[in-house]
Structure 1
Amino acid sequence: MTDGQVPRVPQVPKSVLARGAALLRACGEAEGAQSLAELALRTGLPKPTAHRLLGELVRLGLVERGTDGRYRIGLALFVLGQSAPSARELRDIALPFLGDLYEATGENVHLAVPDGPDTLFLAKLTGRRATPIVSRTGGRLPAHCTATGKVFLAHDPRPPCVSLPRLTPRTLVLPGQLARDLARTRARGFGVNLEEAEIGISAVAAPVYAHERRPVAAISVTGGTRRLDMERVGARVCAAARALTRALSA
């Protein structure tokens, strides 16, 4: 796993647009630059097809090709992504609350939104005091093994996917185990990840609402398991999430 991305067996896209999008997603989700062979493997595309499409994406400035022949997301795509209004507005409103939470805890603070079976990190605040972790802004993790993802799953009437990837020995992969954990999440008002995505790392997350009945986002604090006081941090995270909810509803 790299940058919080779990490899999955790819479904080969059929249209040219879908194939180009798959390459862009593969470039964006991977840690560091990727070779042609790695991108072909991640997308399921034949190498000649991937090479041709990557050439077009490079010419458009959406992908950059280094002197070593490896590919990464280009500056043009970064600028385009920053213009997405809903995500940008949510992040901009949330940043002061995230900053206060970082100052209070000294640990990694995330703003996340649901993205299919994953939780997607829109923002991450960290610093020298924080425990190093694998997450990054724009990265994603499977929802069932993250505190933010559990917040989304706990308020989703649809059952989680039957086949759940195991990231650590503590990942909850049995539907019954996860269902009980999601019931606890609803009851206490915040989600907890106990070394389920990364050994030695735990997290607490609380839901953020706008005008919908289900959370539009979640705020979390992530750090070393031995350093994180779940009840104390949970209370702070819930207070920050409530404050952000009020700001979004104003």
Structure 2
Amino acid sequence: MARRVPTGPVLGRALSILEAFGPRHTRLTLTDLARRAGLPLSTVHRLAGELVSWGALERDAAGRYSVGLRLWEVGSLAPRGLGLRERALPYLEDLSQVTHENVQLAVREGAEVVFVERIAGSRAVPVHTRVGGRFALSATGVGLVLLAHAPREVQEEVIGGPIERFTAYTVTDPQALRRLLADVRANGFAVSDRQVTEDALSVGAPIRDPHGAVVAALSLVVRHGTVSPHALAPLVLSSARAISRTLT
């Protein structure tokens, strides 16, 4: 269910309509939009019409709404996504071609990971991530890297939980997670072993700006048991350092 926005400013209500869409809710009827946005049907009907006119929404012959291309065009201009992706893409493609595995690029938005790019390798294990999708900071390879280098208040917010459990191997104990983040900082890379799915292992490394601040993370996701994470780490670190150099 979309996050409820009080029936107040028009902008807030329009945003609540856009938030009603999700990976499993890409086409919605007017009634679905009103229910998921928590707004009156008449309000949604009026605002949806304005959003369609602008191009933020599209309406098909059956009367169902979907996110419009105009919104995608505007969103693609976000500097943290577009500029980073363009600089990183050649190195992501090289890493994918060498390993034939999943390669992911992500940034932190608050207490979540936002995936900027993902390349699926020919031998890749299935993953739950998608470009533009969000995930918990505490479980994935990129998430652990970003969390380890996040401001202290963000770390405390995540560690203070509740920490979502995805598999029996997900680290949910606060002290164990603190130790894991300390290891990430000490080793220079993160290992997420079966924390998201029981058949996947992820190795992540930080991407830094010219001042040394971690602005993004890169990861390689492979099938658990096929290769040692320490064998993957040099490849991931090398690619992350190469991308970092392009940001200068």
State whether structure 2 residue 122 is matched by structure 1 residue 139. no
- Give the match for residue 31 of structure 1: 24
Q: Distance in 2 between matches of 1:12 and 1:60?
A: 21
**Offset of residue 58 of structure 1:** 2.0
Larger radius of gyration: 2
Going from structure 1 to structure 2, the CA distance change for 1:233 and 1:10 (only over 3 Å counts) comes to: same
Task: Determine if contact 2:3/2:19 at 8 Å carries over to the other structure.
Answer: no
- Give the match for residue 70 of structure 1: 64
Q: Which consecutive residues of structure 1, in runs of 5 or more, have no partner in the other structure?
A: 1-6
- Give the match for residue 191 of structure 2: 192
Q: Distance in 2 between matches of 1:50 and 1:169?
A: 42
Identity %: 37
1:58-207 matched pairs, under 5 angstroms: 58-156=52-150, 157-158=152-153, 159-161=156-158, 162-207=161-206
Task: Determine if contact 2:112/2:134 at 8 Å carries over to the other structure.
Answer: yes
Going from structure 1 to structure 2, the CA distance change for 1:51 and 1:149 (only over 3 Å counts) comes to: farther
**Offset of residue 175 of structure 1:** 1.8
Going from structure 1 to structure 2, the CA distance change for 1:43 and 1:201 (only over 3 Å counts) comes to: farther
**Offset of residue 16 of structure 1:** 2.0
Deviations 1:175-221 (A, max 9, x none): 22211111111111111222222332221110000134431011111
Task: Determine if contact 1:109/1:221 at 8 Å carries over to the other structure.
Answer: yes
Deviations 1:30-74 (A, max 9, x none): 235242455455544445444443332222211123344433221
- Give the match for residue 246 of structure 2: 247
Q: Which consecutive residues of structure 2, in runs of 5 or more, have no partner in the other structure?
A: none
Q: Distance in 2 between matches of 1:54 and 1:172?
A: 42
- Give the match for residue 3 of structure 2: 10
Task: Determine if contact 1:168/1:197 at 8 Å carries over to the other structure.
Answer: yes
**Offset of residue 227 of structure 1:** 2.9
TM-score, normalization: structure 2?
0.86
Task: Determine if contact 1:61/1:77 at 8 Å carries over to the other structure.
Answer: yes
**Offset of residue 139 of structure 1:** 0.9
Going from structure 1 to structure 2, the CA distance change for 1:38 and 1:116 (only over 3 Å counts) comes to: farther
Deviations 1:1-41 (A, max 9, x none): xxxxxx6x8342443212322332442x4235242455455
Q: Residue 115 of structure 2: SS of its match in structure 1?
A: strand
**Offset of residue 125 of structure 1:** 1.1
Q: How many residues align?
A: 241
- Give the match for residue 4 of structure 1: none
Q: Distance in 2 between matches of 1:46 and 1:173?
A: 39
